Amino acid sequence: MSGFDVRKLKNGVPVLLAHYDEGETVTIGITYNVGGRNEWENKSLDGISHFLEHQFFKGNEHISPNEVLEKVDELGGMTNAFTMEDCTIYFSKCMSSELDNAISLWDELLTFGVISQEEFDKEAFVVRQEFRRAEDSPGNLIYRKVKKELFKNTSLEMDVIGTEESLSSMTLDQMERYRAKYYGMENCALLIVGNFDKEELFTKLNSTFGNKKFRDEKPKYQLTQYNIPKENKINVIRVEKETPLVFYDLAILTPGRKSKHYHAIELLSHLISLGRSSLIQQRLIRKGLCSYAYLYYNYYEDIGSLEFYAASSPHQIKESLDTTFILLHDVLTMEITSDTLAKLCDKIEYQVLSAFEDPSQLMQLQSIDYWRNGRFITLEDQMKAIRDVTIEDFDEVRQLILGNLQATLGVLGKSEDINFELTFPENTWKGEFIS
């Protein structure tokens, strides 16, 4: 990447211009600070942000769905989108030579017209089928159940994909009003990644997106405060499902992206899970306890979680869980040196660099970070922040998150495979599992 430029259009919309010297393509995206968290104030709208995502490439009264698809094909590109708790991203990839035409198409799509009842009904069926597929996926199902319990009574308890009830009862009028409230230019940012002329592109963006109305007030959603746990407390949910394996998800509550601890938590999660030599690989995979296992830091602006997800055979599930807790306790107590952190940073840098070299992945990461941290971040700034974490910072975070566990444990499988007594292994923590 030869240039990483952040600007604002004349109406105030922030723009990330990430220029690559090599390559013949450009990826253009628009991200909105809207998702499941916005639905919390009216829970009957659970899943509407994701439902609305499906309508974006359906066009409007000026351009039909088939015309949108034809124009995308003419650009030699592809389109995609995804919705999260606080972020919705729409993007398309095209040849650099077609960038002007791609911007014109997006400008037309952002002239939100009336969604037809016919298209609404078609996508209502599609999103309900998507929900049912998610219910059939053990991994997806246990993650959503655990998240809802971990963040109960906060805006993060909403299920991005919705529920059968909400998706069946939602109306076109509700969607139109929701879109009018949350999908204005004051609630979005633009991201362009690839090979382009910056000044020509910025002029084009100003003459299109820059002319759209930018309202004074930006919509908000409820934030949550992270409280340091005073005792070990793990809420347990058991989900009965006919599967040959037993799946488990241990979600430990953590501070979020804007916390001073964010980069130390990144290091902590990577110490456990990054690479073939990680503790997860050594303790759970190579020993044959789990068919797969991984841990990641699932963060939001205000709060987050370390998600430890794995699948084991029924006769090994108790040993797998015990090994998971022992592993985490060892991470709490093991000696960590400056050399350990330096080597870990080297591994992380390779991973971050790989993400920055993939336009679609870069767009996704930057979009998420913009809404959760308030700015786009360069590769250099990100790695500097990670390398600036000291032993003292790391030890403080270990004690903060793992000293007392505030967590939710979800176990999914056949009834006879998941109804066993849960206790902490010897010489680890003391505390209760609450079913």
Q: Please state, rounded to an integer, the average pLDDT across all residues of the chain.
A: 92
Above 90 in pLDDT, residue 351? no
pLDDT of residue 15: 97
Q: Which residues contact 119 (CB under 8 A, 6 or more apart)?
A: 55, 58, 65
Matching CATH topology for 3-211 and 233-434? yes
Could you tell me if residue 59 is left (phi over 0), alpha (psi between -120 and 50 degrees) or otherwise beta? left
With contact defined as beta carbons under 8 Å apart, do 210 and 7 qualify?
no
Return the pLDDT at 20: 85
Q: In the prediction, which pLDDT does 22 show?
A: 79
pLDDT average, residue stretch 383-390:
95
Mean pLDDT of 317-339: 96
Is the CATH code 3.30.565.10 the one for domain 233-434? no
Q: 423 near 323, Cβ under 8 Å?
A: no
Instruction: Pick the more confident residue, 134 or 76.
Output: 134
Pairwise pLDDT comparison (55 vs 132), residue with the higher score:
132
d(CA 156, CA 299): 11
Enumerate the domain spans of the chain.
3-211, 233-434
In DSSP terms, 80 is beta-bridged to 91
Predicted confidence (pLDDT) at residue 110 exceeds the cutoff of 80 = no
CB-count exposure of residue 37 (10 Å: 0-12, 13-18, 19+):
buried
Local confidence band at 111 (pLDDT 50, 70, 90 cut-offs): low
Encode pLDDT of 18-60 as tens digits. Answer: 998 878 899 999 999 999 999 999 999 999 999 999 888 777 7
- Assign a CATH topology to domain 3-211: Cytochrome Bc1 Complex; Chain A, domain 1 (3.30.830)
**What global pTM score does this model have?**
0.93
Q: Say yes or no to pLDDT of 255 above 90.
A: yes
